[in-house]
């Protein structure tokens, strides 16, 4: 029995270490990633209902931003400042960001692009950020 417990602990530790690497077994689902999206900036939609970073370093017109959600919660990437009701000002096309997904947006025109999550709205949440696009 003691050996079995030791084995299980070892197996758990091995599994935990293995999950930290970039290789996954055929039956496991790798977490969503922005790797390979070509994006210059990655923004994490978190389980504490924030975007991280909320205001990433400026990109240049024509570059991409990738939002990734491995939080276990559903989020959205919606254009404009957050309102108390779901809203989207249409300055860019984001969309639903369910757990395990990514949204990649190409920003072709210089400007300041606020974004927010339409699930986690004020006054309860402040799930917002801004993309700055330089010419
Ligand atoms: Cu959200």
Q: What is the CATH number of the domain that holds 123?
A: 2.60.40.420
Q: How far is the CA of 92 from the centre of ligand 1 (A)?
A: 18
Q: How far is the CA of 127 from the centre of ligand 1 (A)?
A: 6
The model's confidence at residue 26, banded by pLDDT at 50, 70 and 90, is low
Give residue-wise pLDDT tens across range 50-100: 999 999 999 999 999 999 999 999 999 999 999 999 999 999 999 999 999
Ligand 1 centre distance from Cα of residue 74 (Å): 6
Nearest to 128 by CA among 65, 49, 68: 49
| Cα(76) to centroid(ligand 1), Å | 6
Residue 20 forms part of a structural domain: no
Predicted TM-score (pTM) of this structure: 0.80
Is residue 16 a part of any domain in this protein? Answer: no
The range of the structural domain enclosing residue 69 comes to 38-134
Report yes or no on 29 lying in a domain: no
Domain membership of residue 25 (yes or no) is: no
Residue 24 CA to ligand 1 centre (angstroms): 27
| Total number of domains constituting the chain | 1
């Amino acid at each position: 029995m003691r050996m079995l417990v030791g084995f299980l602990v070892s197996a758990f530790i091995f599994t935990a270490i293995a999950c930290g690497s970039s290789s996954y077994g055929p039956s496991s689902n790798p977490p969503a990633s922005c790797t390979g999206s070509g994006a210059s900036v990655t923004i994490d939609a978190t389980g504490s209902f924030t975007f991280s970073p909320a205001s990433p370093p400026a990109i240049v017109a024509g570059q991409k931003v990738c939002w990734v959600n491995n939080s276990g919660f559903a989020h959205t990437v919606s254009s404009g400042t957050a309102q108390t009701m779901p809203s989207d000002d249409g300055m860019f096309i984001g969309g639903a960001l369910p757990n395990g997904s990514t949204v990649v947006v190409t920003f072709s025109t210089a400007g300041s692009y606020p974004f927010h999550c339409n699930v986690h709205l004020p006054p309860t949440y402040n799930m917002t950020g801004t993309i700055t696009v330089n010419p």
